[in-house]
Structure 1
Amino acid sequence: MGVALKDILTEFKHPAGQDELTGVAAVDTFNALYQFLSIIRQPDGTPLMDDEGRVTSHLSGLFFRTANFLQQGIRPVFVFDGKPPEMKSSTIQDRRDIRDESKEKWDEAKRKGDLTGAFRYAMSSSVVDEHIISSARTLLQFMGLPVVNAPSEGEAQAAYMARKGDVDYVISQDYDTLLFGTPVLVRNLTISGKRRIHGRQVTIQPERITLSDVLQTLEISREDLVDIAILTGTDFNPGIKGIGAKTGLKKVKNGEFDGIIRDKSPGFDPEPVRLFFQKPPVTDSYNLETSPVDRDGVFSFLCDEYSFSPDRVNPVLDKIAKKEKQKTLESWF
């Protein structure tokens, strides 16, 4: 998922302080749901489920993490993916194959009692299906939070809204969002906190990347950044074998992009990929207004329908109600 630009972006990742996070944030929703489904699991990798065996990991992550956002003064706008472009079909199939293979390895690890391996393979078996999407939408509706339906890629729509100034930044794990032109990308916000990675406990902190800093320091344009991504591989093309981000940066700055494509991938036309990153399908049809939380609706949906504990849900709803009351009082002054 995403593009492999980490090696040239590491120096531009800065800890995101609370004052930098306050404001309106567009959430790459599918990306966030994958994170919740991957991380919120039992020790053997089994996702959280309700009494009927329906997966609820995503609802847990969405509810509790969004409540934290609201407490911190972050007003999230959830952007959902639309129809993927045809040139992404190969990537989608590859991901299906990886999920299927991971599911088999997860089952085998559980049979062997290998909890570490089971959890690792389970993370890679996550899938955002219609149940996940529809239940997430319902919860967000009850929470009174705006939802935007992208015509195609969610991060492209989120980046467009950020460029317009309708949101302050985009929340996503994927560097693609920078290729689509978001001025500010915030990573790790949906998964911040203590996490077990590769068998050890680590603390994950939110990090902020500013596109203008990247381009100015590397002395490249956004179009150049897209070309670097094309060389390393994107969701829409496999890339050139042996070329990573650092090599790609050097080649693009030296004007070698066209020659490399001609010599190493003669049947590939990079123009459709370039055009998609530069002018993706987006919409201006969205409403970013929030509504009061439907407390009864949230409680009934989570506790009555999906077996959440009232002792966990009610305190969070109390905090949200207190925050809403505080905002109402502040509006009088």
Structure 2
Amino acid sequence: MGVNLKDLIPPEAKVVLDDLRVLRGKIVVVDGYNALYQFLAAIRGPDGSPLMDSSGRITSHLSGLFYRTINLVEEGIKPVYVFDGNPPELKIKELERRKALREEAAKKYEEAVKEGDLEAARRYAMMSSKLTSDMVEEAKRLLKVMGIPWVQAPAEGEAQAAFMVRRGDAYASASQDYDSLLFGSPRLVRNLTISGKRKLPRKDAYVEVKPEVIELSKLTEKLGITREQLIDIGILLGTDYNPEGFEGIGPKTALTLIRTYGSIEKIPKGYLRTREEVDVVKIKNYFLHPPVTAEYKLEWIEPDQKGIVEVLVKDHDFNEERVKNAVERLSKAYKEFLKGRQLGLDQWFKKSS
């Protein structure tokens, strides 16, 4: 879910990218779980069924990860993926809620298939997407043979991504969620892994989805608040650590309350109604001081065609010709980076630990 700050983002704090080459030479830390869930939801058949190999194992996430990452590298972007570790205790209730929603959606999917309602079947199938630990490990294995670095976060991947950007090891974090802004990422790229034409739910119409870059400093400046106050607004609206937020408080009201009283702790209790007790101080402290690691190395190496064929073709029945053609594209993009030298090899092979 994540916090929804969409209605609070002023135009001055956001740049819509018509061309991904604007990010050429930039290291972008992609929220791995977020991206894999997007691929699981989007890459499906007309009835909502995911791609599978001959053993019945889902491969939609691998297909999306493989081809979309190649597209990014061809645009000159240096992606690094970060994966969630152990979820904080604050998030347990939200994870249980998501599990229940997936299970309910799975039941509705079966009903829709029986009734022949393909539109509903696809919608419920997307909602029932489940990412297993085996699927994540396969994604990491694929990235390794592609020569793309990945980082294992101790806890929240978006917190780790924000840390890496603040540290200067990357230009921006990339996710559909806005949480990395609360974790202090100076820049957030949205729609990086889902740009292109997308069908509107329940409508026979498509919209063009373009990547956008949001700058934290411009966001807080235009709203006239600090990052800590942005966290307060997020808590009022609802985060993964208090999903329901506070009753009757929308984006505009939340901003007004924080501007008026300075912090969530100083808002009169009468304004803050919620079904469950919320420890706002504990949530705020988690956003300010999340568990992260500085033990990582960012290194891009030439793709291992044999290894990629092993993972995708031999293990998961991908079309060998298509895979090899894609690997050629990846190798060519890699060599053009080395040949260009306009950014310097030291930037391409940037390492941090």
TM-score normalised to structure 2 length:
0.91
Which residue of 2 is the match for residue 248 of structure 1?
Answer: 254
- Distance of 1:88 and 1:162 partners within structure 2: 24
- Distance of 1:116 and 1:260 partners within structure 2: 45
More deviation in 14-23 or 122-131?
14-23
Which residue of 1 is the match for residue 76 of structure 2?
Answer: 73
Query: Could you report, residue by residue, the CA deviation over 1:9-39 in whole angstroms, capped at 9, with x for unpaired residues?
Result: 1634321243432211101000000100011
Alignment: residue pair count:
333
Which residue of 1 is the match for residue 63 of structure 2?
Answer: 60
Answer whether contact 1:152 1:282 (CA < 8 A) is retained: yes
1:104 to 99, 104, 107: 107
2:322 to 274, 298, 312: 312
Which residue of 2 is the match for residue 7 of structure 1?
Answer: 7
Which residue of 1 is the match for residue 89 of structure 2?
Answer: 86
Aligned residue type for 2:284: R
Answer whether contact 1:40 1:48 (CA < 8 A) is retained: yes
Secondary structure of 1:254's counterpart equals helix
Which residue of 1 is the match for residue 233 of structure 2?
Answer: 228
Aligned residue type for 1:314: K
Q: Which structure 2 residues correspond to residues 288-327 of structure 1 after superposition, within 5 A?
A: 288-327=298-337
TM-score normalised to structure 1 length:
0.96
Q: CA RMSD in A?
A: 1.7
Which residue of 1 is the match for residue 269 of structure 2?
Answer: 262
Which residue of 2 is the match for residue 37 of structure 1?
Answer: 40
Q: Are 1:287 and 2:297 an aligned pair?
A: yes
- Distance of 2:104 and 2:268 partners within structure 1: 32
Query: Could you report, residue by residue, the CA deviation over 1:298-323 in whole angstroms, capped at 9, with x for unpaired residues?
Result: 01211111111123212111111222
More deviation in 42-51 or 321-330?
321-330
**Structure 1 residue 244: Cα displacement:** 1.2
How much identity, in percent, do the aligned residues show?
46
- Distance of 1:151 and 1:214 partners within structure 2: 28
Which residue of 2 is the match for residue 161 of structure 1?
Answer: 164
Secondary structure of 2:261's counterpart equals coil
Which residue of 2 is the match for residue 190 of structure 1?
Answer: 193
Query: Could you report, residue by residue, the CA deviation over 1:275-319 in whole angstroms, capped at 9, with x for unpaired residues?
Result: 011111111000001121111110121111111112321211111
Aligned residue type for 1:75: K
Secondary structure of 1:194's counterpart equals strand
Query: Could you report, residue by residue, the CA deviation over 1:205-264 in whole angstroms, capped at 9, with x for unpaired residues?
Result: 111111111101010000000000111110001310111111101111010733547333
Query: Could you report, residue by residue, the CA deviation over 1:43-88 in whole angstroms, capped at 9, with x for unpaired residues?
Result: 1100000111100000000000000011000111110101110010
- Distance of 2:323 and 2:77 partners within structure 1: 20
- Distance of 1:79 and 1:243 partners within structure 2: 33
- Distance of 1:280 and 1:20 partners within structure 2: 31
Answer whether contact 2:67 2:326 (CA < 8 A) is retained: yes
**Structure 1 residue 114: Cα displacement:** 0.8
Answer whether contact 2:312 2:318 (CA < 8 A) is retained: yes
**Structure 1 residue 101: Cα displacement:** 0.6
More deviation in 115-124 or 309-318?
309-318
- Distance of 2:106 and 2:133 partners within structure 1: 19
**Would the alpha carbon gap of residues 58 and 302 (structure 1) be closer, same or farther in structure 2, given more than 3 Å must change?**
same
Which residue of 1 is the match for residue 245 of structure 2?
Answer: 239
